[in-house]
Structure formats: structure tokens, C-alpha cells
Structure 1
Amino acid sequence: MAQKNIYPKRVSRNLSVPEKGSGKTPTFCSNFYRLRSKFINILMKSGKKTKAHKIFSLGVMKAPIALIRAIENVKPVVEVIKKPLGRKIIEIPSLIKPLRQESLAIRWILEGVRKRSAPISNSLLSEVKDALSLMGYARKKRDLLHKKVEASRINVRFSRFPTSPKKVLASANDVTLHLIKVRHSNPYSRSGKDSGAA
């Protein structure tokens, strides 16, 4: 007689995570709670999550719409990646995935907060207000990155989705639109489903 297996089956930890391309659109509340947990985790130092949660609550917990709009204003769309070409290292424009866009925006906001001399909760609120009005440290970092993309726009021909030799890209916005258009038109690209709205 075969002996029964008394050990429970291993359950995957990712059962509650929806699959990519499942068609489920996140609601405002789910989006805010996800951004809140990400914000608190990046703000946390030395494992002091309760302290980070308190700072977040005193700063921007009462204005969730302002926080989401501030992150949207600060999110970069394109970046430059360094790639060796012969004996040189060139900077090639590349699209940023949506989750990395959020992470960069939150990091830049917190860098601006730590550069201020006021209490951290007040500084967080001030930095979010500046980001809403397209100002502040985080917005400057985004504009600086887009200027770097604009300066290296000639190197788009070395990317995975090159331009034609006769096509001239005038600005960072043109680089973004070109990369999005060619990525979505390429059926063999792995990240063809990624959306990189400008």
C-alpha cells in the first residue's frame, strides 16, 4: 500500500499578483496604495518603517491626488544608457519602463526633501507642491535627464530600434515618440506591450 504524502504542497507566493496583460485596470485607490507603499519603502532608513509611515502621514497622506499628480509630473520617459562601441563608450537614448519611472520620480522627490532645512514632513509637502507646479529639485532632475537625451539623440541609430539615416530627431520628445512607435510596431520585441506615454 502506497504511503500518503503528509506534507502540504508548496504554494507560490505570487498567486495574488495579477498576470501581465490580464486586462485588469487598476483603480485610483489601488494605484494610490501601491504608490504609498513604494514611497514609504524608499523613504525608510535602517528598517524604521513606522517612522517612515508617520512622516508620510504628516506630509502628504491627506492629499493623495496631489501626490499622484506630482509623481506624474516628475516621471522621466526616456534615459540614456552607456554602451561600449569600439574603444569609446557612447550614450544611447532608451525608453524607461513604467515601474522604473515611478521609482526614479520618488527617489528624486526624496532627494529634494533631504536637501531642505525644514522638518522632513514639511519639506515633503513643499516638494510635492513644487512638483505640482512643475518646479523643484525633482523636476529639474527630470529636465536635466531629458536634455541629456536630446544631446545624444544622434546615437538613436545604435539602439535596438534605430532610426533611418535621413530622419533627424530634433528634441527629446521626438526621440520618445520614435522609440514608442518603433517598439510597438516591432512584433519580436520582448517589451512590446510596455506603454511609455509621454
Structure 2
Amino acid sequence: MRGKRAKRRSLKLDRKYSNPIIARFISKVMQDGKKSLAEDLVYAAIEKGSKIAKEEDVVSFVNKAIDNVRPALEIKARRVGGANYQVPMPVSPRRQETLAVRWVVEASRKKSGKSFDEILCDQLVDAYKGEGDAVRKKEDTEKMAEANKAFAHFRW
């Protein structure tokens, strides 16, 4: 028998901008519990990125960058009669945000040659413009969902 369903915790806000998406970024960038270091990196990246993108408001810069990476559909494996099907599923807004933040940070971690805040800044600016690795990941995910539309009736 399964245990109780976990309660959804309230969204924490970051210290500087009181924005839940930026708080998610900080948590995703953080390694080994070093939150203050993660905050410094994220704040440096988003402030530099908003200047490069010529966006006055840092929060709207981050929101637009994340909106360009949010996937509408994803695929999940379903086992039906001994066969695994890739079934396209709509993505909830909270999961869209989670995936977008994850993809931007993962794309930043794959790159090297510069400091992490510069790489994260480049990824955010690319996402803001609708290009880059994170946006490509979103497009690939949605393309896979579109290709497997025939199995959408297995959704439950």
C-alpha cells in the first residue's frame, strides 16, 4: 500500500527580488548546500543578462527567458500489453517552470571555458531571444510529443 501523497510546499521567494522563479534558479544552481554562492552567481547572471538584452526589469527578463523554454507537451512511457509507448501528455504550469529552469541550468553546466555566471547569463540571454540549448531541448521534446500523437489515447 502506498503512503500519503506528499503535501506541496509553498513557493519560497528569493531575497533580492521576491520572485519564486529566481528562487527556483538559486536552488537549482546550488551545490553542496552553498546557497549564498548560488545566489551570487544567479544574481550576477540575471543582472548582466538583463543589461545585454536591454531589458529594464530583471524579473521580466527572467520571466520572458523562462516562458520561451516552457514546454507545452512532454512524453511519458506507458506500458500497455507488454509494449512501451511514448505517450504525449500536457504539462502543468508548475512542471513547465521546473523543466524550464532545469534545462537552462543543465545547458549552462554542460558548457565550459568561462565562469559559471557568464555561461548562465549567455544561456538566459539565448532563452530570452528564443534560441540556445534550452530552447532546442524544448523544441525536441515537443517534436517527440507531436510524433507520438497517435498514442495520445493511452493517456489516463
TM-score class, shorter = 0.7 to 0.9
Secondary structure at the residue paired with 1:74? coil
1:41 maps onto 2:36 in alignment: no
1:32 to partner: Cα distance: 6.0
Report if aligned partners of 2:108, 2:116 keep a CA contact under 8 Å in 1.
Answer: yes
User: Structure 2: any 5+ residue segments left out of the alignment?
Assistant: 1-6, 11-16, 51-57
Aligned to 1:57: 43
Residues 150-179 of structure 1 deviation map (CA, whole Å, 9 limit, x = unaligned):
11000012223xxxxxxxxxxxxxxxxxxx
> Taking structure 1 as the reference length, what is the TM-score of the superposition?
0.63
1:1-198 to 2 correspondence within 5 Å? 33-61=19-47, 63-117=58-112, 118-160=114-156
> Taking structure 2 as the reference length, what is the TM-score of the superposition?
0.79
Residues 89-118 of structure 1 deviation map (CA, whole Å, 9 limit, x = unaligned):
111111111111101100110111112221
Residues 102-158 of structure 1 deviation map (CA, whole Å, 9 limit, x = unaligned):
011001101111122211111111111111111111001000101110110000122
Please tell me the residue identity of whatever aligns with 2:96.
Q
User: Structure 1: any 5+ residue segments left out of the alignment?
Assistant: 1-13, 18-30, 161-198
CA distance in 2, matches of 1:52, 1:91: 36
Rg larger in 1 or in 2? Answer: 1
Secondary structure at the residue paired with 1:142? helix
Count of residue correspondences:
134
CA distance in 2, matches of 1:42, 1:67: 15
CA distance in 2, matches of 1:57, 1:93: 35
1:64 to partner: Cα distance: 2.1
RMSD: 2.1
Write out the 4+ residue segments of structure 1 that deviate beyond 6 Å after TM superposition.
none
Higher relative contact order (CA 8 A, sep 6+): 2
Report if aligned partners of 1:79, 1:149 keep a CA contact under 8 Å in 2.
Answer: yes
Secondary structure at the residue paired with 2:88? strand
Aligned to 1:8: none
